[in-house]
Amino acid sequence: MTRRFRTSFEYSPLVAALDLLLIHCCAWAAIVFRSGSASAADLHIYAHILPLLSIAAVVSFSVCGLYRIWPRRPRANLISSVLVAEFLYVTAWMSMSGWEPRWAISRGAIAASAALQFIALVAERILLRTLVRNHEQMESGLIVAEDLASANLIRSKLSGASPWWIAIGECLTAETFLKLSDEEICWGTILLAQNVRDKMPIIRRASELLKNVILIPGVFELWMVGAQAAEIDDVLVLRLTPPHLRPGQRSIKRLLDVAGSMCLLILTSPVMIAAAILVRLTSAGPALLAQTRVGADGKEYTLYKFRTMVVNAEQKTGPVLASSHDPRITPPGRFLRAAHIDELPQLFNVLIGDMSLIGPRPERPHFVKIFRDQFPGYELRLALKPGITGLAQIYGRYSTAPELKLRFDLMYIYNYSLVMDIQILFRTIFAVLQPSHAEVSKEGHASPAVADED
């Protein structure tokens, strides 16, 4: 009963229907309370385009992930997603008004409607989220890893995550778990670490006892995401192909890159001019840093970004990752990094075709060689052009280990879609505002994108 209750609010059309009811009620209220005869005319127009606006609303909320496992997301993330969805919806509404004069509605009415809709939708989602959480019984979880040290590391990693996914109870090795009797396996969910060598016996045992399994994927499991089932005579086979985009997908992605980079260059040009002046006035050396990075198919190219370290920062040490409070970073450089302004010149790389707006982060040849030796499958991320942002940048942090970022990159490549690109672009806006995305861990586990000064 609990699971059915939760699923009805997470996935069914019920939430979409509630969203549409609130959206249209708020728009009606905003138009009606306008003075004069214009409100009656606007109501007539609104009723005429209501079906199109309903489609735009559902699409906008779907793109922002608000119909998929949304009650488990942190409140700030949920509110930011509603804000982006509302922005997309209002943009579509205003585009309709501009495209067809007969559909034009007062800009004041649209603005008032947008404000009311945002407040109402946030209140609705928080209320439903509370209902879901009050009615669901938290399932206890068990972490199974190859050794206890790995299991405890995963537990400490997940301890700060949303508590509504799983309540971690104990940690066991794979060998110990398989020796337990059915009565001793009292946990509702089994979280299986990626380093377990033989996962099938554990998954089979959990399935027999009707337990949920959460699998932390390794590269092999990610390869299977892109597998295609086929039949050769009476033999079922899985066809594994290297990650790639079809010609049509490449063309659409390139069109988005050109249009997006040109618009962003125009919008951010005053910021870039100010950043260049700031760098030149506060430290000796050029404002821009030109650096060799590895692009698609392993081809090297020159990446541009604002210099945030002293000149010749790695002359004595060679290529190294940045650490917390790195003395090589200039005071203005810390600000540029925190605000991600240092990344803006990469828009020129996108425009000329060396990079994409969305894709795996570009790495330096030195680190690519190290990571290829350390992490099997790392070369698969070179199937696409590197990007300014991506799944790893949204869900990871600067301190997130390269191996964990690799999994996000491979998941993006195997599941690429234009909708995913648009969603990543909008969610990046909110990801960069979170302090955790600008931090470098005290242990020095930083993205090479942070420690990239010569």
* pLDDT value for 365: 92
Read off the pLDDT of each residue in 55-71 and give the average, rounded to a whole number. 82
Shared domain for 38 and 158, answered yes or no, is no
Domain presence at residue 279: yes
Counting the structural domains of the chain, the total is: 3
What is the pTM (predicted TM-score) of this model? 0.67
- Please tell me whether residues 170 and 293 are part of one structural domain: no
449 domain residue, yes or no? no
| C-alpha distances in Å from residue 368, one per residue of 64, 151, 312, 385, 442 | 32, 28, 21, 15, 23
Residues 299, 422 within the same domain: yes
Are 345 and 288 a contacting pair, CB within 8 Å?
A: yes
Q: For 88-121, what is each residue's pLDDT tens digit?
A: 899 888 888 777 777 778 788 888 899 999 999 9
Pairing of strands 189-192, 140-145: parallel
Can you give the pLDDT at residue 273?
94
Please indicate, yes or no, whether residues 44 and 94 belong to a single structural domain of this protein: yes
Same domain, 199 and 277: no
> Is 237 inside any structural domain?
no
Domain edge (last residue) among 201, 216, 231:
216
> Residue 295: what pLDDT?
93
Of 186 and 37, the structure prediction assigns the larger pLDDT to 186
Confidence check: pLDDT of 450 > 90: no
Look at residue 160 in the predicted model and tell me its pLDDT. Answer: 61
Q: What pLDDT does 398 receive?
A: 61
By percentage, how much of the chain surpasses pLDDT 70? 82
- Say whether both 379 and 332 belong to one domain: yes
Residue 305 lies in a domain: yes
The domain containing residue 212 runs over which residues?
Answer: 140-216
**Both tokens of residue 76?**
């700030």
Residues 45 and 103 in one domain: yes
User: Within this chain, do residues 102 and 61 fall inside the same structural domain, yes or no?
Assistant: yes
The C-alpha angle with vertex 293 and arms to 290 and 295, in degrees rounded to 5, equals 130
For 230, list phi and psi in degrees, rounded to 5: -150, 170
Asked if residue 174 and residue 313 are part of one domain, the reply reads no
Q: Do 33 and 166 lie in a common domain?
A: no
For the chain, the average pLDDT equals 80
In a domain, 387, yes or no: yes
Say if 242 falls within a structural domain.
Answer: no
Residue 243: name the closest of 12, 412, 27 by CA: 412
Contacts of residue 429, defined as CB under 8 A and 6 or more positions apart, other chains included, come to: 84
Query: Which residues, at least 6 apart from 277, have a Cβ–Cβ distance to it below 8 Å?
Result: 287
Shared-domain flag, residues 339 and 362:
yes
Phi, psi of 399 (to 5 degrees): -85, -5
Each residue's pLDDT tens digit, 400-422:
777 778 888 888 888 888 878 88
pLDDT band of residue 37 (cuts 50, 70, 90) is: low
- Closest C-alpha among 347, 339, 371 to residue 259: 347
Q: Is 453 among the domain residues? A: no
- 209 in a domain, yes or no? yes
Overall residue count recorded for the chain in this entry: 454
